[in-house]
Amino acid sequence: MHDSTDNLDGDHMPHDDDPPRSDDGPRIDERFMSAALDLAQTAMDADEVPVGAVVVRGGRVIGRGFNQRQTLHDPTAHAEMLAITAAAESVGDWRLDDCTLYVTLEPCAMCAGAIVLARIRRLVYGATDPKAGACASLYTIPTDPRLNHQVQVTCGILEAPCSAILKEFFARQRALGKK
């Protein structure tokens, strides 16, 4: 639950005129993960795997994305990739070294690689992905010391609702005989 000091509008997004705030801390992490969850719901409403992501800089969302692989007929249209691209366009630079990426599901190898390549400072994710997760479950790409950039990783923020939306989606898909 958010109180009035959160300065959130109906979408759980910061107002453009809010003063910049730190994007660290559990309360802030929950605030931005809620924004990512809203985007996951948008994906689910579009019959996409419900994953949402936001990139935050200075307490403001500068990039948003949700899975659109089916819609765009693009295997790379993951929430993280779209959010990173939007953030880079927003700031006019591919380096996002002072940013935090919030995503509802542990990133895959492609997305984890993009996170490292974008020089994102911090990754926060909700649910783990034992079948494709590349941040802790199967691989540890963002923290691999052999790479030229390491990312701080925080997992388990709003894990229950992040997991629940995925379970609901796949239960629906199985009931329809789709996936």
Active-site residue 159, yes or no?
Answer: no
Cross-strand partners of 127: 105
Side-chain-facing half-sphere of 123: CA atoms under 13 Å: 36
Measured CA to CA in angstroms, residue 151 lies from 30, 131, 147 at distances of 19, 21, 10
Which letter does DSSP use for residue 14 in this model?
B
Q: Are 7 and 27 in contact (CB under 8 A)?
A: no
State the catalytic residue, choosing from 30, 48, 80, 106: 80
Residues tagged active-site: 80
